[in-house]
Amino acid sequence: MDEYRIALIPGDGIGPEVIAPAVEVLAAAGKKFRRRFTFTMLEAGGAAIERYGLPLPEGTVEAAAECGALLLGAVGGPQWDNLPGSGRPERALLDLRKELGVFANLRPAVLRPQLRDVCPLKKELVQDGFDLLIVRELTGGLYFGDRGRGADGRSAFDMESYSAVEIERVLRAGYEAALRRRKKLTLVDKANVLETSRLWREVNGEVMGDYPGVAVDFLYVDNAAMQLVRAPGKFDVIVTSNLFGDILSDEASALTGSIGMLPSASLGAAPGASSGGQRFGIYEPIHGSAPDIAGKDMANPLGAILSAALMLRYSFGLEEEALAVEAAVTAVLEAGLRTADIARGSTKPAGTRKMGAAVAEALAG
Ligand code: IPM
Ligand code: MG
């Protein structure tokens, strides 16, 4: 039996609660398809600060890199909000992304027919649903530029900087995704103001010729934010910088009914011939640690479970298994099960554990 090694970082807040059902679902998939998934538990974020005094303990990156993929819950919480930037839980996440080289963050946002009633948009705007993919640059830009304070501490700066190489590789990830989808790519930037955005457009001009089948258009980020709530169905693939992608992906997630539903995959360069076909990636639900509902068995585990499905697909090439997990999620929603974030009317919400167990059961068939 092939072995698939998975690093787990449950993290903080609802992180551990949503990772547990994701692992349960992976175990069910392993049993059904006769795959051996093995798990290496690692710590990062606030949990690591409490135990080791720093957000990313030494050796964590190396231990993760030895696995085929990393599944992460969430990091952060109010108790660590007053730490300096370099000691905050979020720093662990940024360092993991950077050091593991996962520059392309894929955030799909789909309006499922079963959840149409929780979409906050007027019915007529989403009659035909939407299915879009945000490809967010993840290891550059404002998140990783120089930052600091002026001598008197009363001025501050954060620098946005991109190299052509960084832009090109994430653009190509976007084009390749578009080729597998509806073959439309929207480059979102602020090229009317920012020099970095103008470089993005220049590099796009050099790259787009390699993908003649893909239709390209351009939107300024303010306009894109507006179009997302006016006509989300117009988008297929959106490619954008780190900060803009962070913001737009939260917006897009809210349109699907709940941020609790959305998975993400963060990928590095395509694997070489010697990798055995496995491509390292970090997989995380995009919802964050949600400290207000932590420990209450209220969180929606579907974002984490769907992240595990993306891991099967992108890191392990297990398409059939990924589809089976996604179908199990759909079956459970079809059956009417809802966590609190997606329950409406008289529906009694299911807890995190119940939802996870239902997906595992649906998968086992
Ligand atoms: C995300 C989160 C992170 C980000 C935070 C927690 C640092 O918002 O994954 O979208 O900004 O990238
Ligand atoms: Mg975010």
Nearest to 322 by CA among 330, 332, 335, 311: 311
CA of 34 to the centre of ligand 2 (A): 35
Instruction: Out of 80, 138, 242, 246, give the residue to mutate to test ligand 1, the one with the largest number of ligand atoms within 8 Å of its CB.
Output: 246
Q: Answer whether residue 315 shows pLDDT above 90.
A: yes
pLDDT digits (tens, 9 = 90+) for 13-44: 999 999 999 999 999 999 999 999 999 999 99
Binding site membership of 93 for ligand 1 (Cβ less than 6 Å): yes
pLDDT at 74: 98
Give the domain 120-255 fold. Isopropylmalate Dehydrogenase (3.40.718)
pLDDT at 273: 61
Please state the atom number of ligand 1 nearest to the C-alpha of residue 284.
Answer: 9
Q: Answer whether residue 274 shows pLDDT above 70.
A: no
Q: What angle do CA 205, 206, 212 make, to 5 degrees?
A: 80
pLDDT bracket for residue 271 (50, 70, 90): confident
pLDDT at 116: 93
Please state the atom number of ligand 1 nearest to the C-alpha of residue 97.
Answer: 12
CATH number assigned to the domain with residue range 1-108+259-365, chosen from the 4 options 3.90.1150.10, 3.40.718.10, 3.40.50.300, 3.30.300.30: 3.40.718.10
Rounded Cα distance, 60 and 101, in Å: 14
CA of 246 to the centre of ligand 2 (A): 4
Q: What are phi and psi of 57, to 5 degrees?
A: -60, 150
pLDDT digits (tens, 9 = 90+) for 130-145: 999 999 999 999 999 9
Residue 289: what residue type?
S
pLDDT digits (tens, 9 = 90+) for 334-361: 999 999 999 998 889 999 999 999 999 9
Structure tokens at 50: 């409490």
Q: What are phi and psi of 185, to 5 degrees?
A: -130, 130
pLDDT at 276: 67
Rounded Cα distance, 8 and 265, in Å: 14
- Secondary structure class of 71 (helix, strand, coil): strand
Binding site membership of 90 for ligand 1 (Cβ less than 6 Å): yes
- Mean pLDDT, the chain, rounded, equals 96
Total number of residues shown for the chain: 365
pLDDT at 41: 98
CA of 304 to the centre of ligand 1 (A): 15
pLDDT bracket for residue 85 (50, 70, 90): confident
Give the torsion through C-alpha atoms of 137, 140, 142, 146, to 10 deg.
Answer: 180
Residue 113: what residue type?
P
pLDDT at 353: 98
Q: Answer whether residue 69 shows pLDDT above 70.
A: yes
- Which numbered ligand comes closest to the C-alpha of 289? 1
Sorted by where each begins, the domain ranges of the chain are: 1-108+259-365, 120-255
CA distances, 40 to each of 6, 265, 279, 348 (Å): 6, 19, 17, 36
pLDDT bracket for residue 272 (50, 70, 90): low
The answer to whether the beta carbons of residues 169 and 175 sit under 8 Å apart is no
pLDDT at 254: 94
Query: Is 120-255 in the same CATH topology as 1-108+259-365?
Result: yes
Please state the atom number of ligand 1 nearest to the C-alpha of residue 94.
Answer: 7
